[in-house]
Structure 1
Amino acid sequence: MNEASFIAATHFGFGPGPQDGPSGDARGWLKAQLQGPDPGLASGAFAGLPTGQQAVDVLRADAMARKALKEQGLPEKGNFHSQARPLYEQDATAQINFAATTQAPFRERLVWFWANHFSVSAQQNQAAPLIGPMLREAIRPHVTGSFAGMVQAAERHPAMLRYLDNDVSIGPDSRAGQRTGRGLNENLGRECMELHTVGLAAGYTQADVTAMANILTGWSIAPSDKGSDSTGFLYRPFAHEPGAQTVMGQVFDGGEQAGIDALNFLATYPSTYNLLAKKLVTHFVADNPPPDAVARISGALRDTGGDLGAASAALVDLPQAWTPGQKLKTPFDYVISTLRAAPPPPDQPAPKLLAILSGLGQPAWGAPLPNGWPDTAAPWAGSDSVTSRIDWAYTYAGRFTDSGAAPMDVAQAALGPLLRPATLAAMQSAGSRREALTLFLTAPEFQRR
């Protein structure tokens, strides 16, 4: 592999594994990953994991079990064992393992980028078991398709509806609102505008947010015996705010179709393409995105009507994206690139990935706010964060004391010409295999991409 090949694998993906990476045309290798269906879905890597609808059914079963205990006057502790938590752990582990082994790491990085754009937290509103299905049902199928299609799938997915309380949002003048006195929740209306589509630069008002929230009333979730679709989504017309609503000067009539039309309007708005371009260039180029690079990606989105595959291919063609080491790896990036560079020896137990990520400060699908995990270096470069990485690197390197690949082979396969002479010299003078591998895993060039 030449230098461009290592940059392609490291900067656009999660780093090469022992037996993968481009062997010739680095740009062609990246663009080829944008063709065809999602490799994880196509390969059956996630077979057996629950659909969104099945996860909704499990959440209802948990709720009923809790209710029964309360009616009996029994405490939850010792009497209740959630069925939802194991679903989250199984799904998150499967998708993290796929990232660590996929032969299409650029495409997989895009999956996790868009999952963070449409962030849902496993820590809130019992959304945890729904997030894995959302990635498989709303994100993966649209990574190289239209952004409008991804917006529709993400905003109506039960994970998003539960996380942002839209499943309990009721139009004040709807039949349900008049009967119960319950009212509007603006969370989804606000976040789909501020974070997911047009952004604050569009200049929308609070009245626009309220109107969007009204449009999305009735978008809810339900178990399978209540008529929901395969994701668990159900439109409830009796909870929908009647009448036309105006968002950013555009009028939308009532009903479920109003939400579809409004989201298409927002997804294809000019400021949406600018917001997406800035985020993509920040992620794939540098913390301070070059304005000309942002303009090129925004133009690619505008010219293709929001084609994410075209925008991703345009990223590959950015000259600024081929300078290595511009981005500090997040804890997730760091763990995945470590697993790809130095897979655990077969005689060792599988790493406890969810615990590792939590210990490094980035629990799987656990961003504390709807804007997702930060994509710049500063939040991940504090002394505590650095110390945690060193401690984990030393712990993980302990797996290779008597087995596994030799540290120098790991380093050469992972970084090749990007490996600094100073790192090589330090590894060669290390007192043990464990120390040598720790030095590599904590080296500046491995900490960055």
Structure 2
Amino acid sequence: MNERTPKRLRMALAVSVLVNVFLLGAIGGGGYRWYAAERNAAAQPRGLRFAADGLEAEQRRQFLQGLRAARRGAAAEVDAARDGRRQVEQLLRQPQFERDALAAALARTREADAAVRSQLEGSVVDFAATLSPADREKLADAWSSAARCAPARPGPRRRRHDAANDNDNDDDSDCGQDQGSKHVPGEQHMTNTAMTAAAVAVNRFGLGARPDEPPPADPRGWLLGQFERYEARPAAWSAQPGTPALAGAFGAQQREVRQAQADAKTAARQQLQRETREAYRDAVDARVTSALVTQAPFVERLVHFWSNHFAVSVEKPAVAALAGAFEAEAIRPHVLGRFEDMLVAVERHPAMQVFLDQVRSIGPDSMAARVAAQRAPERQLGLNENLAREIMELHTLGVRSGYQQADVTEFARALTGWSIGGLGAREDGEPGRFQFRTRVHEPGTRTILGRSYPQQGEAQALAVLHDLAQSEATANHLATKLARHFVADTPPPALVARLSEAYLRGGGALPEMYRALVQSPEAWAGAPAKFKTPWEWTLSALRGLGLHEAGAQHFAPVLTQLGQPVWRPGSPAGYDDIAASWAAPDALVRRVELAQRLAARVGDRIDARELGPKLLAGTLSAPTAAAIARAESAQTALALLLVSPDFQRR
């Protein structure tokens, strides 16, 4: 083993301290205060024991008895949690890194700690049930104070005789300290660290701070001013081929595969797969580079938001070739325009048409269907409802919004004929261009959501899309998703209503909704409430390190390793936008690994002690600052910063 290996292992162990703090607390749903309370209670009920201080002596005695009983009842879980943490340490110290074993140990530890918490919660609930409303009010007040008493910063446990000099307090918490002069790390570390307005602007609305850019003096003005600075087709995307070129090349390669002799088919197929992977890889790198250098990170985030809203998946080879062009052509030009225009561009784009099998949809009574029935009665041609269903359920109205299966079927009939050029035996039309095929369109008037659509041809589906875009249900659906993305996993109803009203008032103009979001007090209040997805975390890390381009590193495999491959969400609903989907133990371990690699890439050129305050714009917590200061090397300190709870939330 080379001499650097122990340092790498110690760095991983140090990083795991912060990862575990985050893992056992915030993603469990109770935040760091609960983590501190339950960890203390596993040894002695230090934090919780003060929660009944406002009550009578007998009531306090009963409360403490309940906690002790709960602790005794959870003895096995306490031991399991302790053993789990020991196993985590042992696994991290091993020369051979075992990812699966480490993830499993972290999961077992989390389950044990959650069981301890459940026992303690049950004890508190049982006790509260015995109190009068007035006494419960006292309990709530004392609870608020007790919850702020959290463990000391990570470090060596003090010996008993050392603790005796600390106000006769024999635990490792700051509860006995003068709160007016001493920091309360648990409280500030996770739950109540108020983000400055600049931090909200660059981290919650934007893609993360850059060390070479000062924090905005006027955060709201900085965000709204980006509408003028945004480039729909920046340099990184301008270098990428468009859909016609990509579709033409893909189609030509498919023909080569079909026409190749048996002994050459495998080589031709492998060549097609290789070139498709390269097109996808290059598009992902263009997306990353654009996000690193943009002067409009708020709008760039909105591009990513809408691209996920209108999700396609590169699991289909043809979509893999076109996914980057889909975002560049259907999303980017319309992100500051009307939702209806983006909706139409998305549904007409070849990537969406192929992804949801619209190119196979044929009207049962269309000219093409009648001819096919005469020539080959055994062939089954007909409607494909995928696109119609996803437009209603995911792209516009949302689930449980009042539409019926009959509406989906009628809409699918209206959409027949929407296709792309270069398909079929005739291969008519330009490959990669939208083409309306009259021969497969279902004739007749359609009735959808109680409204009649007598229009013929392409205009019929366009009229339906217009009405869907103007619907109150669509406004509410979009407002909910936007508020969830920027503010909280469970968005405030008042904010959702405000965004919905702005959308309807502006006739579906998206900037009206964005302005309402920026002006909403909910978007600027409180601690960082959103846990970064792998995509968000990677971008913020790269921006935080001052990078301006992907360079020789291809980021498609990096995002796959982190669990969020670009344009491959696994379902038309796109990737989830809540913490529970991204904070699994194995996912956090992968972030630790990437943080190590990024830190090694920059070496000792960056001082994390100086970088941290810049990236977090005044919200770097004292525990994270202390952990960075104690790090054994610049690389360790940088890795700690990148996986700290402060940096992983926005």
CA distance in structure 2 between the aligned counterparts of 1:191 and 1:345, rounded to whole angstroms: 37
| Aligned with residue 428 of structure 1, among 629, 634, 642 | 629
Matched letter for residue 316 of structure 2: Q
Alignment of 1:281-430 (within 5 A): 281-322=483-524, 323-343=526-546, 350-402=552-604, 404-430=605-631
Q: How many residue pairs end up in the alignment? A: 442
Partner residue of 1:23? 216
CA distance in structure 1 between the aligned counterparts of 2:214 and 2:437, rounded to whole angstroms: 48
| Aligned with residue 184 of structure 1, among 383, 400, 410 | 383
Q: Deviations over 1:201-236 (max 9, x none)?
A: 32111111011111111111124983348x521111
SS in 1 for 2:447: strand
| Aligned with residue 419 of structure 2, among 212, 220, 230 | 220
For the 8 Å contact 2:257–2:268, the answer to whether it is kept is no
CA distance in structure 2 between the aligned counterparts of 1:414 and 1:350, rounded to whole angstroms: 25
Matched letter for residue 292 of structure 1: A
Partner residue of 1:149? 341
For the 8 Å contact 1:125–1:162, the answer to whether it is kept is no
CA 1:354–1:21 in structure 2 vs 1: closer, same or farther (change >3 Å)?
farther
CA RMSD of aligned residues (A): 2.0
CA 1:227–1:204 in structure 2 vs 1: closer, same or farther (change >3 Å)?
same
SS in 2 for 1:392: helix
| Aligned with residue 449 of structure 2, among 245, 248, 258 | 248
CA distance in structure 1 between the aligned counterparts of 2:219 and 2:492, rounded to whole angstroms: 23
> Normalising by structure 2, what TM-score?
0.66
> Deviation of residue 386 (structure 1)?
1.1
> Normalising by structure 1, what TM-score?
0.94
Matched letter for residue 106 of structure 1: F
SS in 1 for 2:305: helix
CA distance in structure 1 between the aligned counterparts of 2:383 and 2:254, rounded to whole angstroms: 23
Matched letter for residue 629 of structure 2: Q
SS in 2 for 1:45: helix
Q: Deviations over 1:244-287 (max 9, x none)?
A: 11111112233101111111111111100000000000001000
Deviates most, 274-283 or 72-81: 72-81
Partner residue of 1:35? 228
For the 8 Å contact 1:6–1:21, the answer to whether it is kept is no
Structure 1 stretches lacking a partner, 5+ long: none
Partner residue of 1:88? 280
Q: Deviations over 1:364-399 (max 9, x none)?
A: 111000000000000101111111111111122111
> Does 2:208 align with 1:208?
no
> Does 2:437 align with 1:236?
yes
Partner residue of 2:157? none
Deviates most, 49-58 or 311-320: 49-58
Partner residue of 1:54? 245
Matched letter for residue 109 of structure 1: R
> Deviation of residue 40 (structure 1)?
4.5
CA distance in structure 2 between the aligned counterparts of 1:91 and 1:286, rounded to whole angstroms: 30
Matched letter for residue 355 of structure 1: P
SS in 2 for 1:287: coil
> Does 2:637 align with 1:443?
no
CA distance in structure 1 between the aligned counterparts of 2:317 and 2:353, rounded to whole angstroms: 10
> Deviation of residue 409 (structure 1)?
2.5
SS in 1 for 2:228: coil
SS in 1 for 2:331: helix
> Does 2:355 align with 1:163?
yes
Deviates most, 134-143 or 16-25: 16-25
Percentage of pairs with the same residue: 40
CA 1:19–1:324 in structure 2 vs 1: closer, same or farther (change >3 Å)?
farther
| Aligned with residue 255 of structure 2, among 45, 56, 64 | 64
Matched letter for residue 340 of structure 1: R
For the 8 Å contact 1:66–1:80, the answer to whether it is kept is no
CA 1:75–1:53 in structure 2 vs 1: closer, same or farther (change >3 Å)?
closer
